[in-house]
């Protein structure tokens, strides 16, 4: 071996694939005497020549210095560096290739600084795999954060999945590795192969910043083409910027894309993003929902997690198509005036070995202390919110979906699990914060930072917290001591009212407060009333199945409850299938039971939801002051013996007020008196007992006129007929 060309130690490090500074060995280097040497590692090569890129002339024939494929040689009398490529002879073929070790550093130092500082909002612009051109050569720059790895390599379709061939360059200050590999193409699969600090081989890792991944159960990342820049939704995005959602109708249709509808003619397969654009979007438009909320589409390995255990946080799941297909779906929504929200999961991640856990052999993304880094409920890992690079990862991910795919907001999953250090833990199974408290101060700062930057960069979006406790100020401004979310799910309202509705009507009078208690705190936050997927799984049954009584009463109860919900202060969210009274519990492995729409009762529920959405959208008194106490008044709050609820909804000045009455028993009440503040004719604009909804048809005709007879502390009163198990809405003619 010629030690002048390469030292024994360097040679062994290259062949053994444990070199931690490969760029100091391979590529072109200047020796002490000023001469230039080129070294390369090309297994199976028979000969290697260095060719000048400028004149295509052969400069030197490299010497084989190791049978594994290491070649080295001096560049004759040349003293100045030059660009070159390698002409490699293999068995039966000679090809020209670019040497990846001749290219310069691809990452800007400022980006690395911001990433390590925890303020990098666009880590995805340089981390992961990016198709770029360097010195006129097309290829892909691969970048990964693995500070404790002794060696990191890119392996993939382009190098026979051989970790010796493309060992990466390490930036010591940041722990980020990178390499530009010429000739890598869109669709090529890849992973990262790493040795831990002690030289042990780690499980192959998917790219945390991958923009596309293989269809599970395959686990490789894929080189993704940049999204086409020809977005057609500029008017939608511009109009959204000045939108005040607190004062606007918000009706959200929550969807699991894998089970909304399937194709039974082709093995019950999923619909693609493009098929969903042509089927789901018109359906949501027809039903009058303002937004679609997608259960997580960030790539996830296990179907049964419904997406809530994601691994590819930057990759739309390949189950339904490519990133470009997902973009097409979002555009189709915006073209129809429908916003798109995404369930976002910053609270935990799965332990799959190709994922983030023990990524470089250490607890890199997760907290090392199991009392802070492991979720006992879900057997998942918890992000280390105290690590700046993890903050940059999560912050960039949130903004990525809003920027790259023009999404209209994020719904943060399991926020309570992030806020409390003792969440689902007892005794000494948790670690207090620096002040001895149970608040997770680092997670709180992350939530504030994401909300602050999201609203700053994308005015008019919705940032929503699924938070199940009484933590104050979830949806209040950060400047006022809040967390900065736009809205919070009202889990208490959902739990209380569903418990009430599940009771036999004969017992409801003893639990009257379960329907009224939500108004005690209804305006402490900007609330969304959710009937989500969580209420129709794990043996809970469907919403229809929760209702008591015979078949007619079940449907009547459900219709009355929907009427109560749509006229109650707060924005609305309904999980798919609820809009037509799905009978069975939701099953993620199959389509919704669309055949039920052949039955009039189910068709009636669907018609009701469509009309309730229209009523809520077109009646200012029902949405303008959803989050303001001045928009609501109880008329009768204590009529427990009849299980009747009466209230008034008001809008801004000039909006016609509406009166709502819910009768939660099967008894028809005639000449039912209730007080109203204004004289005039109160038109019946909604009756959930209408025959078009498969109800019994008990009604008030066109409406009723207020009499100058004081009642309920008001100067006028109405005498109305209350249908059985029904909600009616009366609007004052103005």
Residue 494 backbone dihedrals phi, psi, to 5 degrees: -60, -50
Q: Are 258 and 587 in contact (CB under 8 A)?
A: no
Phi-psi sector, 269: left (phi>0), alpha (psi -120 to 50), beta:
beta
Alpha-carbon distances of 565 from 173, 626, 707, 722, rounded to whole Å = 55, 12, 29, 18
CA distance 482 to 514: 28
User: Strands 644-649 and 632-636, how do they pair?
Assistant: antiparallel
Rg (CA), the chain: 31
Please, which residues bridge with residue 527 across strands?
488
Beta strands in 91-196 (DSSP E): 93-97, 128-134, 137-145, 151-156, 169-171, 176-182, 189-195
Assess whether 733 carries a catalytic annotation.
no
Residue 61 designated active-site: no
User: Which two structure tokens, joined as six digits, stand for 717?
Assistant: 């009163």
Q: Single out the catalytic residue among 207, 212, 366, 466.
A: 466
Rounded to the nearest 5 percent, the helix, strand and coil shares of the chain are 30, 25, 45
Question: What is the distance of C-alpha 224 from the center of its chain?
Answer: 20
DSSP labels for 600-613? HHHHHHHHHHHHHH
Q: What is the DSSP string of 173-207?
A: TTTEEEEEEET--TT-EEEEEEE-TTSPBPPPB--
Annotated catalytic residue: which of 121, 413, 467, 601? Answer: 413
What are the φ and ψ backbone dihedral angles of 109, each rounded to 5 degrees?
-60, -35
Classify 706 as helix, strand or coil.
coil
How far CA 471 is from CA of 252, 429, 475, 524, 546, in Å, comes to: 24, 22, 10, 11, 29
Q: Which one, of 373, 360, 361, 349, lies nearest residue 301 by Cα?
A: 349
Question: Which pair of tokens denotes residue 287?
Answer: 């039903």
Look up residue 290 and give its two tokens.
């303002």
CA distances from 706 to 203, 549, 715, 716, 732 (A): 75, 35, 10, 6, 10
* Count of positions (residues) in the chain: 734
Cα 159 from Cα 529, distance rounded (Å): 53
Question: How far is Cα 705 from Cα 629, in angstroms, rounded to an integer?
Answer: 27
Residue pair 697/689 in contact by the 8 Å Cβ criterion: yes
Active site residues: 413, 466
């Amino acid at each position: 071996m010629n030690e002048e060309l390469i030292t024994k130690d360097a040679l062994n490090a290259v062949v053994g694939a444990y070199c931690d500074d490969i760029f100091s060995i391979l590529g072109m280097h200047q020796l002490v005497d000023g001469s230039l040497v080129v070294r390369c590692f090309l297994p199976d090569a028979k000969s290697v020549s260095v060719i000048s890129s400028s004149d295509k002339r052969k400069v030197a024939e490299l010497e084989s210095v190791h049978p594994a494929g290491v070649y080295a040689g001096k560049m004759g009398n040349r003293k100045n560096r030059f660009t070159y490529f390698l002409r490699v002879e293999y068995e039966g073929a000679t090809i020209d290739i670019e040497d990846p070790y001749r290219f310069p550093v691809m990452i800007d130092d400022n980006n690395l600084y911001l990433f390590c500082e925890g303020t990098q909002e666009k880590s995805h612009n340089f981390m992961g795999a990016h198709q770029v051109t360097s010195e006129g050569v097309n290829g892909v720059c691969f970048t990964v954060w693995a500070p404790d790895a002794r060696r990191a390599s890119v392996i993939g379709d382009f190098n026979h999945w051989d970790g010796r061939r493309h060992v990466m360059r390490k930036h010591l200050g940041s722990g980020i590795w990178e390499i530009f590999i010429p000739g890598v193409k869109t669709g090529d699969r890849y992973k990262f192969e790493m040795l831990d600090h002690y030289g042990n081989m780690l499980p192959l890792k998917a790219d945390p910043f991958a923009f596309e991944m293989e269809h599970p159960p395959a686990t490789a990342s894929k080189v993704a083409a940049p999204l086409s820049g020809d977005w057609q939704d500029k008017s939608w995005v511009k109009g959204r910027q000045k939108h005040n959602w607190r004062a606007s109708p918000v009706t959200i249709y929550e969807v699991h894309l894998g089970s909304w509808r399937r194709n039974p003619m082709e093995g019950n397969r999923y619909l693609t993003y493009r098929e969903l654009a042509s089927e789901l979007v018109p359906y949501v438009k027809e039903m009058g929902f303002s937004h679609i909320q997608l259960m997580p589409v960030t790539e996830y390995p296990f179907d049964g997690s419904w997406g809530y255990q994601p691994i590819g946080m930057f990759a739309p799941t390949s189950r339904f198509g490519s990133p470009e297909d997902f973009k097409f779906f979002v555009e189709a929504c915006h073209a129809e005036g429908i916003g798109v929200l995404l369930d976002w999961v910053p609270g935990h991640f799965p332990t799959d070995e190709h994922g983030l856990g023990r990524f470089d052999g250490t607890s890199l993304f997760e907290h090392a202390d199991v009392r802070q880094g492991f979720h006992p409920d879900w057997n998942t890992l918890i992000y280390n919110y105290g690590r700046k690079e993890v903050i940059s990862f999560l912050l960039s991910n949130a903004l990525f979906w809003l920027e790259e795919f023009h999404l209209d907001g994020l719904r943060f999953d399991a926020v309570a699990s992030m806020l409390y250090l003792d969440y689902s833990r007892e005794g000494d199974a948790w670690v207090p914060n620096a002040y001895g408290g149970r608040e997770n101060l680092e997670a709180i700062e992350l939530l504030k930072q994401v909300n602050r930057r999201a609203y700053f960069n994308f005015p008019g979006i919705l940032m929503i917290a699924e938070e199940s406790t009484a933590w104050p100020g979830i949806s209040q401004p950060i400047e006022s001591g809040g967390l900065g979310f736009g809205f919070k799910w009202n889990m208490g309202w959902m739990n209380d009212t569903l418990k009430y509705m599940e009771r036999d009507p004969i017992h409801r009078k003893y639990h009257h407060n379960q329907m009224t208690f939500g108004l005690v705190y209804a305006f402490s936050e900007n609330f969304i009333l959710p009937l989500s997927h969580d209420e129709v799984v794990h043996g809970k049954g469907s919403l229809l199945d929760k209702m008591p009584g015979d078949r007619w009463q079940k449907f009547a109860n459900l219709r009355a409850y929907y009427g109560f919900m749509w006229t109650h202060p707060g924005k609305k969210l309904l999980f798919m299938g609820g809009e037509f009274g799905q009978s069975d519990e939701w099953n993620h492995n199959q389509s919704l039971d669309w055949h039920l729409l052949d039955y009039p009762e189910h068709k009636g529920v669907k018609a009701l939801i469509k009309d309730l959405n229209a009523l809520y959208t077109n009646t200012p008194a029902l949405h303008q002051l959803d989050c303001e106490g001045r928009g609501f008044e109880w008329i009768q709050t204590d009529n427990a013996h009849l299980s009747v609820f009466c209230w008034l909804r008001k809008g801004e000045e000039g909006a016609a007020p509406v009166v709502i009455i819910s009768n939660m028993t099967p008894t028809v009440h005639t000449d039912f008196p209730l007080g109203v503040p204004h004289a005039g004719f109160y038109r019946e604009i909604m009756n959930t007992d209408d025959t078009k909804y498969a109800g019994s048809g008990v009604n008030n005709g066109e409406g009723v006129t207020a009499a100058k007879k004081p009642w309920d502390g008001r100067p006028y009163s109405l005498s109305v007929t209350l249908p059985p198990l029904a909600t009616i809405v009366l609007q004052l003619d103005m």
